[in-house]
């Protein structure tokens, strides 16, 4: 329409407002979580039994996304 001004949609990202340091720590934590989950999955059945875990427990943990941090709920 004549004389109508356009508008801009503003989309907030999940990281908007985070400092670079906080973002770096988040990425480092995600990397650590992935590494720990891969190490857990590589343990033998005997080692898992010593920890009181089953293969089902490990598989449940292994398939979780890297950003799903149980320590930050």
Res 48: pLDDT: 96
| Mean pLDDT lowest among 5-9, 16-20, 27-31 | 5-9
Token pair, residue 10, equals 């503003």
Query: What tokens were used for 26?
Result: 């988040």
Least confident piece of the model among 1-10, 35-44, 48-57: 1-10
For position 35, what pLDDT does the model report? 94
Mean pLDDT, rounded, of the chain: 85
CA distance 59 to 28: 23
**pLDDT score of 18 more than 90:** no
CA–CA gap between residue 32 and residue 3 (Å, rounded): 55
> For 28-35, what is the mean pLDDT?
94
* Calpha distance 63→73 (Å, rounded): 18
């Amino acid at each position: 329409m004549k004389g109508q001004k356009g508008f801009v949609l503003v989309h907030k990202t999940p990281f908007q407002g985070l400092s670079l340091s906080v973002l770096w720590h988040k990425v480092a934590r995600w990397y650590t979580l992935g590494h720990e989950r891969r190490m857990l999955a590589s343990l033998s059945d005997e080692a898992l039994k010593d920890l009181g875990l089953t293969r089902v427990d490990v598989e449940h943990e292994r398939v979780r996304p890297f950003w799903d941090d149980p320590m930050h709920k």
